[in-house]
Amino acid sequence: MRSIGYHLKRTLSGLGARPLALLLTLGSVALAFLLVGSVFLTAHNLSRLTDLWGAGATVAVDLAEGAPPAEVARVEQALREIKGVRAVKRVSPVMAKARLMRLLGEDAPVIASVEAGFLPSSLEVTIGGDRQDVLGAQQRISRMSGVVPGVEAVQTVETWFHRLDRLISGIRLAAAGLGLLVLVACAYIIMVTIRLRFVDRRQELQVMRLMGATERFIRIPYLLEGMWHGLLGAALALCLLLVGHHLLTARAETLFGAGVHPSQLGFLPLGQLACGLAIGGLCGLAGALVATRQPSHG
């Protein structure tokens, strides 16, 4: 373990030996990680926005005409027991007509003379929680239509919500696939860089072997160097992503419309950031392992 200082010194001297090659490698790795990070960040924020939008979702459960109060009470109770349901409010035909007239504004007189009874009694269900809770609650409520006594119809935004959910899953899948490709590409770039350095210093390594250096002793600085390449590349990508995120967040309302408030957008969680850095380091280590693997000649 006392030799770790020596290995680190050799690693740092190796990193500084060819600044241009280092910059090119770091730049390539950072760009690759930036690409994947952007896709993940997009998916993350879409998911956040969907959760936020879903939190205030309401579902209207139209009651069958003439449903007895006991039956309505049972429906109300059943709704309250569904996970994600925050509140259930009875809306009488009179209340519904008043709401409709408010919505119509100047055109309200058109329905002013119509009897309140033309609109059904309904239950207004407010759903909250994360996207999965909202989706689950909407599905369960939808299935009540025509099946549960007293429920005539259910009006939800389920389809829209489902599409968004599928889009987010698709983006995440694409990010994972892209990530895998990028990992292989980064490992290859780092492998080539380390291999060039390894070949460049083969005479020095040969001298070390003649003095009794084990392959492990010889490889350690190169493995650490590869790991640093991956780690620094990933860190640089995350820094660029953070800057990009801040710039976009500041212009969120201009770019995405009034529906998106800057406070609704967030950066990747710490766990994912740490994971990204670790993957960068491991990717570099894997590249360096391949680059320095060779039979021990003399």
Smallest gap from Cβ 7 to other proteins, in A, equals 9
The distance of closest approach from Cβ of residue 230 to other proteins in the complex, given in angstroms and rounded to an integer, is 26
Mark out the alpha helices in 81-157 (DSSP H runs): 93-104, 109-112, 131-142
Output the CA–CA distances (angstroms, integers) from residue 180 to 33, 146, 186, 279, in the order listed: 11, 47, 10, 11
Q: Least CB distance from residue 214 to other proteins, whole Å? A: 5
> Smallest distance from the beta carbon of 298 to other proteins, in angstroms?
4
User: Which of 65/200 has CB closer to other proteins?
Assistant: 200
Nearest to other proteins of 102, 216 (CB atom): 216
- Closer residue to other proteins (CB): 5 or 257: 5
Residues forming contacts to other proteins in the complex (CB under 8 A) are 2-3, 5-6, 203-204, 207-214, 217, 296, 298
Smallest separation (angstroms) from other proteins to the CB of 4: 10
Strand partners, 87: 126
Q: Which is nearer to other proteins, 147 or 210 (CB)?
A: 210
Q: Which of 231, 220, 214 is nearest to 282 (CA)?
A: 231
The H or E element containing residue 175 is: helix 158-200
E strands, 37-130, are 58-63, 85-91, 122-127
Q: Which is nearer to other proteins, 105 or 212 (CB)?
A: 212
Give me the half-sphere count of Cα atoms (radius 13 Å) on the Cβ side of residue 194.
Answer: 31
Nearer to other proteins, 103 or 210 (CB): 210
Give the nearest distance from C-beta 23 to other proteins in angstroms. 22
Residue 212 buriedness (CB in 10 A; 0-12 / 13-18 / 19+)? exposed
Q: Which residues contact 164 (CB under 8 A, 6 or more apart)?
A: 46, 50
